[in-house]
Protein backbone atom coordinates (compact mmCIF):
# COMPACT_ATOMS: atom_id res chain seq x y z
CA UNK A 1 0.00 0.00 0.00
CA UNK A 2 1.33 3.38 -1.01
CA UNK A 3 -1.08 5.28 1.20
CA UNK A 4 -1.36 5.58 4.95
CA UNK A 5 -4.24 6.83 7.11
CA UNK A 6 -3.20 8.72 10.24
CA UNK A 7 -5.81 9.10 13.01
CA UNK A 8 -5.36 11.62 15.86
CA UNK A 9 -7.74 11.52 18.83
CA UNK A 10 -8.71 14.49 21.03
CA UNK A 11 -8.33 15.41 24.71
CA UNK A 12 -8.88 12.55 27.20
CA UNK A 13 -9.52 10.00 24.45
CA UNK A 14 -7.18 7.38 22.97
CA UNK A 15 -6.73 5.34 19.81
CA UNK A 16 -9.72 3.31 21.05
CA UNK A 17 -12.17 6.04 19.99
CA UNK A 18 -11.31 4.99 16.40
CA UNK A 19 -12.22 1.32 16.99
CA UNK A 20 -14.94 1.27 14.28
CA UNK A 21 -12.66 3.01 11.77
CA UNK A 22 -9.77 0.63 12.57
CA UNK A 23 -12.02 -2.36 11.89
CA UNK A 24 -13.52 -0.92 8.72
CA UNK A 25 -10.37 0.39 7.03
CA UNK A 26 -8.35 -2.59 8.25
CA UNK A 27 -10.72 -4.86 6.33
CA UNK A 28 -10.18 -2.66 3.27
CA UNK A 29 -6.45 -3.27 3.58
CA UNK A 30 -5.42 0.26 4.44
CA UNK A 31 -2.25 0.87 6.39
CA UNK A 32 -3.05 2.94 9.48
CA UNK A 33 -1.11 4.84 12.12
CA UNK A 34 -3.19 5.55 15.24
CA UNK A 35 -1.10 6.97 18.08
CA UNK A 36 -2.15 7.55 21.66
CA UNK A 37 -1.12 11.13 22.41
CA UNK A 38 1.27 11.51 25.33
CA UNK A 39 -0.53 10.96 28.65
CA UNK A 40 -3.36 9.11 26.88
CA UNK A 41 -4.18 5.45 26.29
CA UNK A 42 -1.06 3.28 26.40
CA UNK A 43 1.40 6.17 26.04
CA UNK A 44 3.69 7.37 28.83
CA UNK A 45 2.21 9.78 31.40
CA UNK A 46 5.14 11.90 32.60
CA UNK A 47 4.66 14.01 35.72
CA UNK A 48 6.34 17.00 34.08
CA UNK A 49 3.47 19.15 32.81
CA UNK A 50 5.66 20.74 30.13
CA UNK A 51 5.41 17.44 28.25
CA UNK A 52 1.78 18.26 27.44
CA UNK A 53 2.11 21.57 25.60
CA UNK A 54 0.73 21.96 22.09
CA UNK A 55 4.19 22.47 20.59
CA UNK A 56 5.59 19.35 22.26
CA UNK A 57 2.76 17.15 21.02
CA UNK A 58 2.84 18.69 17.53
CA UNK A 59 6.58 18.09 17.19
CA UNK A 60 6.16 14.47 18.41
CA UNK A 61 3.49 13.87 15.80
CA UNK A 62 5.57 15.47 13.03
CA UNK A 63 8.45 13.11 13.88
CA UNK A 64 6.02 10.16 13.84
CA UNK A 65 4.58 11.33 10.50
CA UNK A 66 8.02 11.69 8.92
CA UNK A 67 8.96 8.18 10.06
CA UNK A 68 5.82 6.42 8.87
CA UNK A 69 4.44 8.43 5.95
CA UNK A 70 4.42 6.99 2.44
CA UNK A 71 3.62 8.43 -0.97
CA UNK A 72 0.03 9.37 -0.17
CA UNK A 73 -1.01 10.23 3.37
CA UNK A 74 -4.43 11.04 4.73
CA UNK A 75 -4.79 12.77 8.10
CA UNK A 76 -7.92 12.30 10.21
CA UNK A 77 -8.19 14.37 13.37
CA UNK A 78 -10.93 14.52 15.99
CA UNK A 79 -11.52 17.61 18.14
CA UNK A 80 -8.12 18.72 19.55
CA UNK A 81 -6.52 16.14 17.24
CA UNK A 82 -7.72 18.20 14.27
CA UNK A 83 -5.33 20.98 15.24
CA UNK A 84 -2.37 18.61 15.01
CA UNK A 85 -3.63 17.30 11.67
CA UNK A 86 -3.79 20.91 10.44
CA UNK A 87 -0.20 21.55 11.61
CA UNK A 88 1.09 18.51 9.72
CA UNK A 89 -0.93 19.39 6.59
CA UNK A 90 0.52 22.90 6.69
CA UNK A 91 4.12 21.78 7.39
CA UNK A 92 4.21 18.81 5.01
CA UNK A 93 2.11 20.07 2.06
CA UNK A 94 3.64 17.72 -0.53
CA UNK A 95 3.09 14.65 1.65
CA UNK A 96 -0.48 15.18 2.82
CA UNK A 97 -2.95 14.29 0.09
CA UNK A 98 -6.20 14.62 2.08
CA UNK A 99 -7.24 16.11 5.42
CA UNK A 100 -10.32 15.14 7.45
CA UNK A 101 -11.28 17.06 10.58
CA UNK A 102 -14.08 15.69 12.76
CA UNK A 103 -15.68 18.02 15.35
CA UNK A 104 -12.69 20.29 14.84
CA UNK A 105 -14.29 23.70 15.21
CA UNK A 106 -13.17 27.09 13.95
CA UNK A 107 -9.72 28.31 12.88
CA UNK A 108 -8.92 29.99 16.18
CA UNK A 109 -5.67 30.34 18.14
CA UNK A 110 -5.69 28.23 21.30
CA UNK A 111 -5.04 29.44 24.83
CA UNK A 112 -5.51 27.84 28.26
CA UNK A 113 -8.98 28.35 29.71
CA UNK A 114 -9.19 29.96 33.16
CA UNK A 115 -11.11 28.16 35.89
CA UNK A 116 -11.13 24.56 36.99
CA UNK A 117 -7.91 23.46 35.29
CA UNK A 118 -5.91 26.10 37.14
CA UNK A 119 -6.81 24.33 40.40
CA UNK A 120 -4.34 22.00 42.17
CA UNK A 121 -4.45 18.39 40.99
CA UNK A 122 -5.81 17.18 44.36
CA UNK A 123 -8.87 19.39 43.81
CA UNK A 124 -9.23 18.21 40.23
CA UNK A 125 -9.34 14.62 41.47
CA UNK A 126 -12.46 15.47 43.48
CA UNK A 127 -14.11 16.87 40.36
CA UNK A 128 -13.31 13.90 38.14
CA UNK A 129 -16.77 12.25 38.38
CA UNK A 130 -18.39 15.60 37.60
CA UNK A 131 -16.07 16.18 34.64
CA UNK A 132 -16.92 12.73 33.30
CA UNK A 133 -20.62 13.36 33.67
CA UNK A 134 -20.42 16.76 31.96
CA UNK A 135 -18.31 15.37 29.14
CA UNK A 136 -20.63 12.45 28.40
CA UNK A 137 -23.62 14.77 28.48
CA UNK A 138 -22.00 17.23 26.07
CA UNK A 139 -20.15 14.83 23.80
CA UNK A 140 -22.75 12.14 23.09
CA UNK A 141 -26.20 12.52 21.58
CA UNK A 142 -29.00 11.37 23.88
CA UNK A 143 -30.07 8.71 21.36
CA UNK A 144 -26.52 7.40 21.24
CA UNK A 145 -26.08 3.63 21.71
CA UNK A 146 -22.35 3.66 22.40
CA UNK A 147 -22.65 2.96 26.14
CA UNK A 148 -20.09 0.17 26.28
CA UNK A 149 -17.47 2.25 24.51
CA UNK A 150 -18.13 5.59 26.15
CA UNK A 151 -15.47 5.28 28.81
CA UNK A 152 -12.81 5.15 26.09
CA UNK A 153 -13.72 8.70 25.13
CA UNK A 154 -12.67 10.15 28.49
CA UNK A 155 -10.06 8.22 30.42
CA UNK A 156 -7.07 10.22 31.65
CA UNK A 157 -5.26 10.98 34.94
CA UNK A 158 -6.19 14.35 36.47
CA UNK A 159 -2.67 15.75 36.29
CA UNK A 160 -2.44 14.87 32.58
CA UNK A 161 -5.77 16.57 31.95
CA UNK A 162 -4.47 19.64 33.77
CA UNK A 163 -1.27 19.59 31.70
CA UNK A 164 -3.16 19.16 28.42
CA UNK A 165 -5.71 21.88 29.16
CA UNK A 166 -3.08 24.36 30.32
CA UNK A 167 -0.75 23.40 27.47
CA UNK A 168 -3.23 24.33 24.73
CA UNK A 169 -1.16 27.28 23.57
CA UNK A 170 -1.22 27.73 19.79
CA UNK A 171 -0.99 31.39 18.92
CA UNK A 172 -0.76 30.89 15.19
CA UNK A 173 -3.82 28.69 14.70
CA UNK A 174 -5.91 31.43 13.11
CA UNK A 175 -7.72 31.64 9.76
CA UNK A 176 -4.58 32.81 7.98
CA UNK A 177 -2.68 29.72 9.14
CA UNK A 178 -5.41 27.47 7.73
CA UNK A 179 -5.58 29.39 4.45
CA UNK A 180 -2.18 27.91 3.59
CA UNK A 181 -3.48 24.34 3.78
CA UNK A 182 -3.67 23.04 0.24
CA UNK A 183 -4.88 19.47 0.81
CA UNK A 184 -8.53 18.81 -0.10
CA UNK A 185 -10.33 18.87 3.23
CA UNK A 186 -13.49 17.25 4.60
CA UNK A 187 -15.12 18.47 7.81
CA UNK A 188 -17.51 16.11 9.62
CA UNK A 189 -19.80 17.55 12.29
CA UNK A 190 -22.41 15.92 14.55
CA UNK A 191 -25.57 18.00 14.32
CA UNK A 192 -26.14 17.97 18.11
CA UNK A 193 -22.53 18.72 19.10
CA UNK A 194 -22.64 20.88 22.24
CA UNK A 195 -18.88 21.48 22.31
CA UNK A 196 -18.48 22.78 18.74
CA UNK A 197 -21.11 24.71 16.77
CA UNK A 198 -21.85 24.38 13.07
CA UNK A 199 -21.10 28.12 12.76
CA UNK A 200 -17.55 27.43 13.95
CA UNK A 201 -17.22 24.66 11.36
CA UNK A 202 -18.41 27.07 8.65
CA UNK A 203 -15.62 29.48 9.61
CA UNK A 204 -13.18 26.65 8.88
CA UNK A 205 -14.84 26.03 5.50
CA UNK A 206 -14.23 29.70 4.68
CA UNK A 207 -10.58 29.49 5.71
CA UNK A 208 -9.42 26.37 3.85
CA UNK A 209 -9.36 26.66 0.06
CA UNK A 210 -10.76 23.23 -0.92
CA UNK A 211 -13.06 22.34 1.96
CA UNK A 212 -16.48 20.71 2.38
CA UNK A 213 -18.61 20.26 5.48
CA UNK A 214 -20.94 17.33 6.13
CA UNK A 215 -23.34 17.41 9.09
CA UNK A 216 -24.34 14.00 10.50
CA UNK A 217 -27.84 13.66 12.00
CA UNK A 218 -28.48 12.20 15.48
CA UNK A 219 -24.86 12.62 16.50
CA UNK A 220 -22.89 14.86 18.81
CA UNK A 221 -19.17 15.49 19.41
CA UNK A 222 -18.10 11.80 19.29
CA UNK A 223 -19.71 11.37 15.89
CA UNK A 224 -17.28 8.68 14.68
CA UNK A 225 -18.24 6.51 17.66
CA UNK A 226 -21.96 7.33 17.51
CA UNK A 227 -22.47 6.97 13.75
CA UNK A 228 -19.57 4.76 12.67
CA UNK A 229 -21.00 3.46 9.41
CA UNK A 230 -21.98 6.94 8.19
CA UNK A 231 -18.58 8.37 9.12
CA UNK A 232 -16.71 5.42 7.58
CA UNK A 233 -18.65 5.85 4.36
CA UNK A 234 -17.95 9.61 4.28
CA UNK A 235 -14.24 8.99 4.78
CA UNK A 236 -14.17 6.20 2.22
CA UNK A 237 -15.95 8.26 -0.44
CA UNK A 238 -13.63 11.16 0.23
CA UNK A 239 -10.57 8.91 -0.16
CA UNK A 240 -11.83 7.62 -3.49
Q: Is 221 among the residues known to form the active site? A: yes
**CA 212, chain centre distance (Å):** 18
Q: Which residues pair with 4 in a beta bridge?
A: 31, 73
Q: Is 106 among the residues known to form the active site? A: no
Q: How far is CA 173 from CA 41, 60, 72, in A?
A: 26, 18, 25
The catalytic position among 79, 82, 103, 106 is 79
The catalytic position among 158, 192, 193, 220 is 193
Q: Is 55 among the residues known to form the active site? A: no
CB atoms within 10 A of CB 180: 14
Taking the CA atoms of 14, 201, 147 and 233 in sequence, report the sign of the dihedral they define.
Answer: negative
Alpha-helical segments (H) within the chain:
19-27, 54-68, 80-91, 121-139, 158-166, 175-179, 198-207, 223-226, 228-239
Q: Which residues are tagged catalytic?
A: 79, 193, 221
Amino acid sequence: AESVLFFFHGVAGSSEVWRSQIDHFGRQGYEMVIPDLIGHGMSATPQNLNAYTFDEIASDLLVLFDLLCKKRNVLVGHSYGSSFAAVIARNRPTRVSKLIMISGGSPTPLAPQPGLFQAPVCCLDCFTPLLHHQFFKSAFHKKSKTCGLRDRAFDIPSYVLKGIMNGQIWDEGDAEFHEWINAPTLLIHGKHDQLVSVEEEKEMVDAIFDCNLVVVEDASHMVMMEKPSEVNELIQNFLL
